[in-house]
Chain A
Amino acid sequence: MTRKKLATVWLDGCSGCHMSFLDMDERLLALADSIELVYSPLVDFKQFPERVDLTLVEGAVSSEDDLKKIRHIRQHTRVLISLGDCAVTANVPSMRNPFGVKAILDAVYQQPDLLNAQVPSEGVPSLLPVARPVHMVVPVDVYVPGCPPSADQIYFVVSELLAERQPDLRRMLRFG
């Protein structure tokens, strides 16, 4: 059996979902026989490969960079999985949405008591008007809500997908 190509992506999130992924512990070893981790913040590949079977996306789409990344990833992924509340609902990153980018940047970087009050513009991608869930930007195949989803749930989803089954997560997962 050829090993399936798995990628994990970290957009606007806290990396908690990746921690949960690592929490699969020894089950990672079991999975290792059937997967090949081709791209991930956990490994050192710089380029997203041409063809990936499964991509787990953590985080909301909040910046120009996120948007560019996720569009590229979608084109090169067979099954795209929204992993965790940030990817599924935009979660904590979306808490800025009601106020707009300017108000948020001003509140953080333009406080009068700051020594060098300025909004960073060099080397950081600019924020989109609102942070969005992944499926509002590109089509998503599987949703795994949770903050974070547990290691058990991630293991279930990945193993079902590896067995070419659509994981039935209803009633197993919840937001938050």
Chain B
Amino acid sequence: MLAEDLHRMAAHERAQQLQYDHHIIVCSGTACRSANSEAVRQALEQQVQERSQIGVCTVTNGGCRGLCAAGPMVSVEPAGLLYQGVTPADAGAIVDSLGSAPVPHILCDTSAAFFSKQRALVLEFAGNLDPDRIESYLANGGYDTLLKAVTEMTPTQIRDEIVRSGLRGRGGAGYSTGLKWNTVAKAQSAEKYVICNGDEGDPGAFMNRSEMEDYPFRILEGMTIAAYAVGAQQGYIYVRAEYPLAVSRLKGAIRQSEKLGLLGNGIFGTSFNFNVDIRLGAGAFVCGEETALIASVEGKRGNPRPRPPYPAEHGLWGHPTLINNVETFANIVPIIRNGSEWFAGIGTAKSKGTKVFALSGRIQNTGLVEIPMGMTLREIIYDIGGGIPGGRHFKAVQTGGPSGGCITAQHLDLPMDYEALMQVGTFMGSGGMIVMDDSSCMVDVARYFMEFCMTESCGKCIPCRVGTAQMFDLLDKITRGEATLDDLALLEELADMVRNTSLCGLGQGAPNPVRSTLRYFRDEYLSHIVDKVCPAGVCKMQHREEVLP
């Protein structure tokens, strides 16, 4: 495919779209699908047919609109209407209303803070793209940026743009993306690889799933630009097999891109070659750790190895390897398209751009939100998130998953950026946000995350293998009301040791929920231990006169 072909296809698709007066777009993300959106789409198609609207109205699949709690979501373009909680029975009314007043009882207020306070960069197009059709992506400027990158820019220029943009890894640690690209680019090797880390495994995190489901072409385009910028010829997308929809969308996207020559040899008539394959993860959380992920791609047991050397120098099969998170790759196209200055203008001094968060737990608007870096937690929870349901009180929010920590009410006005989160003892993580209200017991929360780390530890290094099990036993003992203050001291001793001596991020981060809850909710631990009372009433205490040793 050459530039002319790209433009011709995009123009053709746009012209096709203009032939219709109305477009009904049904969310086909995993959340809406589980709320029966497939049946809604079929009902809509049938109603369009029955009401002789074929040729006037299209019904297509779209992406996630974020408000997962209110699914299935249906939008009508170009009217710009959004419906929530749609059932197949509403289909007739929606089709009848086309061109006239919207259906009131399912109409979603798009002027609400949930929508108006967000800033869509990664989640551009607000779910209106059909993730199964490359034409839909092309019609909206898809692959224009790759064209610009490989025909007008040198790899160095691209890397400079990424460095200047201030983009930091969206997997959690926040390492400078530009710096990483430069390291891989400078490494001397005939073979280099680009890997997209889609092994999202944190409890309560579903950002990457949605990004892969809705924007598979955008991710491929970002990876291809990255490959050009660092000199790689082969890419892998590592996706967990528990995301079947993401896998099938990515497979479809790769196939369609290959067919059009947007992947393969001589992309846009240049000498640049790039191929992408998918590797499925078999459900091990630790495979999200980059060295374990690389071992898994190589076909070995997914165990991590100590760094240095980093994958940028010694990665897949010993070759320099660029490994970035899904969301990092999703940020590449807007940066190259709009320029680094534009991107650097969003966010805070050291954290640029936006971040996608998955809101879950005790919050009104469960779903996916994208906010500019630096927004306060209060705005996220109360404005965008709609606050805590059931008249309960906000207690804490867990970020960074099982390796993160909690942020309490005293830090509600904390600006969300990498540094600020580190200061209060947690970290950005990949974007999971689990909101807890006063009905949650923080010791129980710590116990839950420790159990997760214990079962997900690969077992290679001793501190993580034994330490997480010992810490889990102690936390379990505390929640049973059988622990002593000595047990608490031992828990803290182990938390320090496991954090400082474990081989990889899983073990190093495993004590974080314990450390964080101890920092802010030590009194809850003491209630369990000294008074044998769970203040939130979650833990079932053993009422024994004397606990046997």
Which residues of A are interface residues toward B (Cβ below 8 A)?
61, 67, 128-129, 132, 136-137
Measured CB to CB, the closest approach of chain B to A88, in angstroms, equals: 16
Q: Which residues of A contact B548 (CB under 8 A)?
A: 128-129
Instruction: List the A residue with the shortest CB-CB distance to B549.
Output: A137
Q: Pick the 5 closest A-B CB pairs, nearest first.
A: A137-B549, A132-B549, A136-B549, A128-B548, A67-B549
Q: What 5 additional pairs, Cβ within 8 angstroms, besides A61-B549, A128-B549, A132-B549?
A: A67-B549, A128-B548, A129-B548, A136-B549, A137-B549
Measured CB to CB, the closest approach of chain B to A101, in angstroms, equals: 12
Q: Which residues of A contact B549 (CB under 8 A)?
A: 61, 67, 128, 132, 136-137
Instruction: List the B residue with the shortest CB-CB distance to A130.
Output: B549
Task: Give me 8 A-to-B residue pairs in the complex whose CB atoms sit less than 8 angstroms apart, sorted by A's number.
Answer: A61-B549, A67-B549, A128-B548, A128-B549, A129-B548, A132-B549, A136-B549, A137-B549
Complex CA gap A137/B548 in Å reads 9
Complex CA gap A101/B549 in Å reads 15
Q: Which residues of B contact A136 (CB under 8 A)?
A: 549
Interface residues on B, range: under 10
Q: Which residues of B contact A137 (CB under 8 A)?
A: 549
Complex CA gap A128/B547 in Å reads 12
Measured CB to CB, the closest approach of chain A to B482, in angstroms, equals: 13
Complex CA gap A136/B490 in Å reads 13
Instruction: List the B residue with the shortest CB-CB distance to A129.
Output: B548
Instruction: List the A residue with the shortest CB-CB distance to B486.
Output: A139
B window 424-482: CB within 8 A of A: none
Instruction: List the B residue with the shortest CB-CB distance to A70.
Output: B549
Measured CB to CB, the closest approach of chain A to B400, in angstroms, equals: 35
Q: Which residues of B contact A132 (CB under 8 A)?
A: 549
Interface 0/1 of B518-549, CB less than 8 Å to A: 00000000000000000000000000000011
Measured CB to CB, the closest approach of chain A to B480, in angstroms, equals: 15
Complex CA gap A132/B548 in Å reads 11
Complex CA gap A8/B549 in Å reads 23
Total of A-B residue pairs, C-beta within 8 Å: 8
Complex CA gap A61/B548 in Å reads 12
Q: Which residues of B contact A67 (CB under 8 A)?
A: 549
B window 318-346: CB within 8 A of A: none
Complex CA gap A137/B486 in Å reads 12
Complex CA gap A7/B549 in Å reads 24
Instruction: List the B residue with the shortest CB-CB distance to A64.
Output: B548
Measured CB to CB, the closest approach of chain B to A74, in angstroms, equals: 13
Complex CA gap A67/B549 in Å reads 9
Measured CB to CB, the closest approach of chain A to B80, in angstroms, equals: 66
Complex CA gap A48/B549 in Å reads 23
Instruction: List the B residue with the shortest CB-CB distance to A67.
Output: B549
Measured CB to CB, the closest approach of chain B to A109, in angstroms, equals: 23
Complex CA gap A137/B547 in Å reads 11
Q: Which residues of B contact A128 (CB under 8 A)?
A: 548-549
Complex CA gap A128/B549 in Å reads 9
Measured CB to CB, the closest approach of chain B to A138, in angstroms, equals: 9
Complex CA gap A129/B547 in Å reads 12
Interface 0/1 of B491-523, CB less than 8 Å to A: 000000000000000000000000000000000
Complex CA gap A89/B549 in Å reads 15
Complex CA gap A61/B549 in Å reads 10
Measured CB to CB, the closest approach of chain A to B322, in angstroms, equals: 48
Complex CA gap A67/B548 in Å reads 9
Measured CB to CB, the closest approach of chain A to B549, in angstroms, equals: 5
Measured CB to CB, the closest approach of chain B to A29, in angstroms, equals: 39
Complex CA gap A134/B548 in Å reads 14
Q: Which residues of B contact A61 (CB under 8 A)?
A: 549
Complex CA gap A129/B549 in Å reads 9
Measured CB to CB, the closest approach of chain A to B477, in angstroms, equals: 13
Complex CA gap A137/B546 in Å reads 13
Measured CB to CB, the closest approach of chain A to B509, in angstroms, equals: 30
Complex CA gap A176/B245 in Å reads 57
Complex CA gap A128/B548 in Å reads 8
Complex CA gap A56/B548 in Å reads 24
Measured CB to CB, the closest approach of chain B to A139, in angstroms, equals: 9
Q: Which residues of B contact A129 (CB under 8 A)?
A: 548
Complex CA gap A136/B549 in Å reads 7
Measured CB to CB, the closest approach of chain B to A126, in angstroms, equals: 11
Measured CB to CB, the closest approach of chain B to A133, in angstroms, equals: 10
Measured CB to CB, the closest approach of chain A to B501, in angstroms, equals: 21
Measured CB to CB, the closest approach of chain A to B489, in angstroms, equals: 13
Measured CB to CB, the closest approach of chain B to A148, in angstroms, equals: 24
Instruction: List the B residue with the shortest CB-CB distance to A139.
Output: B486
Complex CA gap A128/B546 in Å reads 14
Instruction: List the B residue with the shortest CB-CB distance to A61.
Output: B549
Interface 0/1 of B242-257, CB less than 8 Å to A: 0000000000000000
Complex CA gap A94/B548 in Å reads 17
Complex CA gap A132/B549 in Å reads 8
Complex CA gap A136/B548 in Å reads 11
Measured CB to CB, the closest approach of chain B to A70, in angstroms, equals: 10
